[in-house]
Copies of this chain bind each other. A is one copy, B any other.
Amino acid sequence: MNQVNLKRLAQELNLSIATVSRALQDSYEVSSQTKERVKALAAELNYEPNAYASSLRRNISKTIGVVVPEVNNHFFSLVINGIEEVAHQSGYHVLIYLTHDDYEREVAITQYLTGGRVDGLLMSVASESQKFAHLQKLYVSKPAIVFFDRVCEAIATANVTTNDYESGYLATRHLIEAGCRHIAYLLVSGNLSIGRIRMQGYQAALRDHGLPYDDTLVVSDDGDDERNTARIMDLLRRRPEVDGIFASVEHLAISSYHACHALGRAIPAEVKIIGFSNLGVAALLAPALTTITQPAYEMGKAAAQILLCAIEKKRAISPGQSLVLKSELFARRSTAS
């Protein structure tokens, strides 16, 4: 199985390796006849350049890394779709890494990526990552980084996010206008900026409508769906006056449904639920779920575009290139009054 490489092509064509290489790159230094000959043989022998040799020599990998907590999640899978779309168009390859919201794992992954394996990185930080030393290290090393949704504020680069404060405010107001007076907040993770910011919107809306903020109505994510459901059930039992739930992340909305079903609380009659979600079947749920939906696909595309643009132009990415896209509120049965 004689590998077909430049040397092989050069031998068969009685040319030097250099000329073959240049011909395949359409260099002006090669005559058009030679180019034709080379390309014909390359096609015939099904020549494909060795990506590693090329990357080593040019110090460019044509590869970007995507680091996300999960892929089995509508938001992230849509983002990946967008990223892959842009990457494919520009001839980039996409390496994917899952942190499972685990700090250790995120550290290990970023360590890999300092080795020049990728030209750039798109990242949504793990919810447990309070420490940023590993990200700093990575940032100081080569690859360009763009954060999306779950950003790392300690690093001066571009972020692609959504209008989380506003969305938190609108979601809460939506519940209030639907008649809710005791609204629970289900928090992603206290050390994630999106959790905090959405919560600030929630608090502001309460204040503006003369409702007290009560931190015993805040339930934070446990990382496990079963346990989350149990926590929510616990809250609903302890505080029977709760008539609204704002889930700051999709799986907490789902857990809320399970909790209400288990306790026999009618949605929306007794408890109204709104949640951040990219669930395609939100409208088919029983009852249809009112969602704040982030433009996940567009976020992926935008983040990838910022990154690839910076890579191609060999320019550093500045925080000024950050983008804030708008989420949309889809009012459905789960918050009907």
Q: How far is the CB of A267 from chain B (nearest CB, A)?
A: 10
CA distance A96 to B141 in the complex (A): 24
A81 and B74 contact, CB distance less than 8 A: no
Copies of this chain present: 2
Q: Provide the residues of chain B in CB contact with A258, threshold 8 Å.
A: 284
Number of interface residues, chain A, beta carbon within 8 A: 49
Say which one of A13-21, A48-56, A160-168, A303-311 lies at the interface with B: A48-56
Q: Provide the residues of chain B in CB contact with A114, threshold 8 Å.
A: 46, 48
Q: How far is the CB of A268 from chain B (nearest CB, A)?
A: 13
Residue of B nearest to A254 (CB): B281
Q: Which residues 66-86 of A sit at the B interface, judged by CB distance below 8 A?
A: 70-74, 77-78, 80-81, 84
Q: Provide the residues of chain B in CB contact with A279, threshold 8 Å.
A: 281
Q: Provide the residues of chain B in CB contact with A56, threshold 8 Å.
A: 50, 52-53, 56
Cross-interface CB contact of A49 among B93, B115, B141, cutoff 8 Å: B115
Is A266 located at the chain interface by the 8 A CB criterion? no
Q: Which residues 86-109 of A sit at the B interface, judged by CB distance below 8 A?
A: 88, 93-98, 105
Q: Which residues 246-289 of A sit at the B interface, judged by CB distance below 8 A?
A: 254, 257-258, 261, 279-281, 284-288
Q: How far is the CB of A125 from chain B (nearest CB, A)?
A: 18
Residue of B nearest to A82 (CB): B72
